[in-house]
């Protein structure tokens, strides 16, 4: 179909489904991949906006870059309860609350990753496993997904960061590293806990160029600073929303 310039192109969506069919039931929607805003860290909500109610002593809560980042993308919650026991020799055993061969954890041999880390990093990590993820993700052509651990949730379960070309590769094969202090212990991973953070992005190459600091650059710099600081609160957010509206037109 040929679209005229006054017509909007059809909406491109990010899709997900589970190869474990019961998870596709709407009754279990709390276990589906969800907007990251549903997992906004509780500790951040409790941070005051200012120290001692002083406007000139802002906390991290007032810095817009953090909440914007924390609400970007989607989160895959853990789909079932797991118990994993790590032995000193590197072996492990796991138990799932739901018996099925579709849920499991595969050993990631040290030669695949841990062995090659710098020595100071090797001393931090005890084991690396890869879960059988029951979810599949599909993005429009030209889009990939960054995979991140749940930063700012500060858990010991650390999926390795990377990216997947989810427009043609829909499986989520992400190894998870576990710290040394977990060895010879049994840990629990609970159903519904935020596990993996997915941020879709368009694969575009931007060329970085050095720009002279001339009068035009100075004007742009000062206008940017004014737009954010000329309001007592949410100046950055207000300008961002205005720009987003313009881009949608």
Which residue ranges make up each domain of the chain?
15-202, 215-248
Q: What is the second-level CATH architecture of the domain 15-202?
A: Distorted Sandwich (2.70)
CA atoms within 13 A on the CB side of 154: 5
In this prediction the pTM is: 0.85
Residue 148 has pLDDT above 60, yes or no: yes
Mean pLDDT across 228-243 = 78
The reported pLDDT for the residue numbered 4 is 41
Mean pLDDT across 61-67 = 85
Distance between CA atoms of residues 77 and 29, nearest Å: 11
Phi and psi of 168, rounded to 5°? -140, -15
Residue 105 has pLDDT above 80, yes or no: yes
The reported pLDDT for the residue numbered 10 is 53
Question: Model confidence over 152-204: pLDDT tens digits?
Answer: 999 888 999 999 999 999 999 999 999 999 999 999 999 999 999 999 999 99
Residue 233 has pLDDT above 60, yes or no: yes
The answer to whether 75 and 150 are in contact (CB under 8 A) is: yes
Q: In terms of residues, how long is the chain?
A: 249
Q: Out of 27-31, 130-134, 147-151, 153-157, which region has the weakest mean confidence (pLDDT)?
A: 153-157
Residue 6 has pLDDT above 70, yes or no: no
């Amino acid at each position: 179909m040929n679209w005229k310039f006054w017509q909007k192109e059809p909406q491109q969506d990010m899709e997900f489904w589970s190869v474990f069919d019961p998870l596709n039931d709407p009754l279990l929607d709390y276990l589906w991949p969800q907007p990251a805003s549903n997992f906004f860290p509780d500790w951040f909500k409790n941070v005051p906006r200012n120290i001692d109610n002083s406007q000139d002593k802002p906390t991290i809560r007032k810095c817009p870059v953090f909440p914007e980042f924390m609400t970007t993308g989607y989160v895959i919650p853990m789909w079932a309860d797991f118990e994993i026991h790590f032995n000193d020799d590197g072996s492990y055993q796991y138990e799932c609350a739901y018996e099925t061969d579709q849920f499991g954890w595969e050993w990631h041999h040290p030669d695949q990753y841990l062995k090659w880390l710098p020595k100071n990093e090797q001393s931090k990590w005890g084991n690396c496993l890869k879960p059988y993820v029951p979810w599949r993700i599909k993005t429009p052509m030209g889009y990939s997904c960054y995979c991140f651990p749940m930063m700012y949730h500060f858990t010991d379960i650390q999926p390795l960061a990377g990216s997947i070309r989810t427009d043609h590769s829909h499986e989520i094969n992400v190894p998870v590293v576990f710290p040394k202090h977990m060895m010879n212990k049994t840990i629990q991973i609970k159903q519904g806990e935020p596990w993996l953070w997915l941020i879709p992005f368009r694969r575009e190459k931007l060329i970085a160029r050095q720009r002279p600091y001339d009068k035009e650059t100075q004007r742009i710099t000062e206008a940017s600073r004014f737009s954010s600081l000329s309001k007592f609160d949410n100046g950055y957010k207000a300008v961002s929303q205005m720009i987003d509206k313009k881009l949608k037109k």
